[in-house]
Structures are given as structure tokens and as C-alpha cells.
Amino acid sequence: MGNILNAQAPNEVITFLTEADKAMFKKWRGPSFEVQVGIHELLGHGSGKLLEQDKDGHFNFDQAHPPIHPETGKPVGTWYKSGETYSSKFGAIASSYEECRAECCGIYLSTDPGVLKIFGHADSQEANDVMYTNWLSMARAGLLALEFYNASSKTWGQAHMRARFAILRVMLEAGNGFVNIEQHLDQHEAIIHVDRQKINSVGKKAVGDFLQRLQVYKATADFAAASAMYDKYTTVPDDWLPLRDLVIEKRQPRKIFVQPNTSVDAKGAVTMKEYDATPAGMIQSFVERQV
């Protein structure tokens, strides 16, 4: 992952950010993404108990004193029956919904100084910059996700992108000036603003509440509530379509990685040859690799 994160084109264009945020993004996107991926995979996908009943009628929770549903304040009334799985219950939204849950874990827990310290960010200012860049990156990713939305069929083509759009909608819904998108469509421009002073208050609460619902609905096999909520946040309103057109207009070419080659001479010495970061360099690298 480190190799991929460090493979940045010298002329890469960063869209939809202010100049100050572009500088912050360039400096801290690698470390912030490392934090996000680490939490996403280990504490996101790696957590979240499902309430289940097996074929013999046994439960993996105390049926006499079941957990209290945080949304209703009453004991939970649904769980996975024998033979049911998360994928079978949640069907078409299962993958994206789970990615959304893991992404929310990433940004939510990145506000914890102890977590940031684990990743080597003990200095308070550095930790704050990494945390801010992580939230800023997620908001921007939610906007860029519109590239993967099919306006004709009203469907999403990529699970992570649908998830990130949902999180952006949650951030915007939080209000209080936390996140906003400044649009100048007549000038073919839009800028995302994230108030870093409100991440630990407005942002953390909004994403935390959303994450709680994501987890509770998943844990209790409540597909009806989960799909209604997820459809709400991932439906693209008509007034967002001009913004989608702008995202597509400004999308950057897909990265093509130019690989170096190594060779061993007659004396056994190993040399490495690098190539220009151009289409010609990529072709030359490929041709010489086959020789």
C-alpha cells in the first residue's frame, strides 16, 4: 500500500479543494489514508457482532435479557435465524452497506488521539492535521463518487463510492456550517469546505449516530430499516446532477504505473533501470521486461 500511495504523478491535478486544503491534502493524504485503511479493515470489517439463532434454537446472546435497541429503547426483536447470513438478508446493498460501516469507523475513530498515536502521530498538531485531512478526503471522495452513479438507471456502479456518497450526505445533513459545497457551475467549479473546528463536535456526532444505525440494523438483521435509510442517503437528487456532470468533466486519467526493471550482469551485480513517467516509458519498460 505504501508503494501505491507514494506513486503520485508530478503533474497530478487535485480538484474541488481550496488552495490551502490542496496543500494540506498533498502533505498528509498518505498518512491519513494509512490511518483510514488501518481502522477500516481492522476495526471496521473486523468488528460488529451479529445476533444469531442456530439450528438447535440456541442464541448467541441472552434471550432472557436481550440487548436494548438504541433507536427504540426496547429489547431487540429481530435476529438472524438458522441458515440466514448477512449477505442473504441484505442482498444487493450488502457490500456497499458494509463498506459504509467500515468507512464510518475509520473517520470516527481517527478523532481519537490514542488511535492516531498508534499510527505514529503523537504530536498534537500533526495528529490534528492528519485527522482533518482524513475527514476532508472523505468529503471529497463522496463528491468524486458521483462519477460512478448512472443517472439513467439511477444505480451505483461501485460499492465504496456509493458508501462515500452516503457519508458526504450525512456530513451535509449535520448542518451548523460543518460541511458545504460551494458551487460555481457557470465557471465549471465547485469547492468543498470542511470546518475543522467542528469535526469533534458536529461531525463526530453525526457520523457516530449514523454508524450506530448502520451497526444496529446489521446486527439485528433489520433489512427493511437498513435499506430505507441507505436508499435515503444514496439517492442522488435531480439538483445534484449538474454537480455530477462537473465531476465527470474534471475526472483525472486513470493512473498507469511505470515499473522499473532489474538485471544481473556477468559478474552477478544487480542493476535497476527506471523509466520516464510517460506512455513511452511504460511501453519501453514492458518491452525490456520481456527481453
Domain boundary among the residues 234, 249, 264 is at 249
- State pLDDT tens for residues 98-153: 999 999 999 999 999 999 999 999 999 999 999 999 999 999 999 999 999 999 99
Bridge-partner residues for 155, per DSSP?
150
Catalytic residues: 41
Same domain flag for 178 and 276: no
Cα 204 from chain centre:
15
Same domain flag for 193 and 284: no
Same domain flag for 243 and 260: no
- State pLDDT tens for residues 68-96: 999 999 999 999 999 999 999 999 999 99
Same domain flag for 164 and 195: yes
Same domain flag for 270 and 175: no
At position 142, the amino acid (one-letter code) is G
Domain that holds residue 87: 2-249
Same domain flag for 152 and 277: no
Same domain flag for 234 and 158: yes
Task: Work out the pLDDT band at 283, boundaries 50, 70, 90.
Answer: very high
Q: Is 257 helix (H, G, I), strand (E, B) or coil?
A: coil
Same domain flag for 129 and 197: yes
Same domain flag for 271 and 193: no
Nearest residue to 159 (alpha-carbon basis) of 78, 95, 226: 95
- As for how many domains the chain has, the answer is 2
Same domain flag for 77 and 191: yes
Cα gap 4→7, rounded to integer Å: 5
Cα gap 30→130, rounded to integer Å: 9
Percent of the chain with pLDDT strictly greater than 90: 88
Same domain flag for 146 and 215: yes
Residue with cell 480538484: 15
Q: Which residue has the higher pLDDT, 285 or 4?
A: 285
Nearest residue to 287 (alpha-carbon basis) of 269, 261, 264: 261
Cα gap 222→45, rounded to integer Å: 19
8 A C-beta contact, residue 59 and residue 79: yes
Residue 2 has pLDDT above 80, yes or no: no
Q: State phi, psi for 181 to the nearest 5 degrees.
A: -115, 110
